[in-house]
Amino acid sequence: MPAPVLITAEELHAGVERLASELSLSYGDGVILVAVLKGGVWFLADLVRAMSINPEVDFLAVSSYAPGTGRVRIVKDLEIDIHDRDVVLVEDIVDTGLTLTYLLGELSRRGPRSLEVCALLDKGCRRIVPTPVRYVGFEIGDEFVLGYGLDFAERYRNLGFVVSGDLEALRADPDAHLAELFGR
Ligand code: IMP
Ligand code: MG
């Protein structure tokens, strides 16, 4: 079961540059980019380096009580006070939208001046709760993707491109795609 490349490094680069231009245009007065650990880190790092303004960055980590229920809690909170500030939540992927809905609720309670979402990948077809994603890198279908921050059991995050994984094979063996993708 090979893991075909879905988005090449070149395509990712172009998508990130486009989003960085959009954000730079929208937030000339400054912005706080909040990445959700861990998957959003790779995207955030490239995004800020392509921006022509100087954003602040901060990080959140969440943990789910039970996978797939959307019941999550913040296990690492922001260090910056976002009250009255323009904030963009940077996500690797929006799938069902449950995690994002929870996070948007939490953050909006702190009274930011504005709050938007920038997601590298959007699986719109899987959405359970309608979620406003203002900045989208790539719309993808109903598939399980790996690479550029996205993992299965903490593997594959450091791929420089995005592949479509075989979820059944990964569940049986999380290392299933390692040899093929990393030449080992
Ligand atoms: P949600 O379903 O929108 O709440 O997404 C929750 C989290 O599931 C995302 O932030 C990712 O960490 C993870 N996730 C969803 N789809 C994928 C995928 O295709 N590959 C890897 N992780 C995923
Ligand atoms: Mg995530």
Q: Is the dihedral of CA 106, 110, 115, 121 positive or negative?
A: negative
- Cα dihedral sign, 164-167-169-172: positive
Distance from the alpha carbon of residue 136 to the mean position of ligand 1, in angstroms: 15
| pLDDT attached to residue 72 | 84
**What pLDDT was estimated at residue 183?**
84
Distance 48 CA to ligand 1 centre (A): 22
178-182, long-range: CB < 8 A, 24+ apart: 180/2, 180/3, 181/3, 181/156
Nearest ligand, CA of residue 157?
Answer: 1
Which tops the pLDDT comparison, 148 or 99?
A: 148
Q: What pLDDT is stored for residue 68 in this prediction?
A: 64
User: Confidence class of residue 67 from pLDDT cuts 50, 70 and 90?
Assistant: low
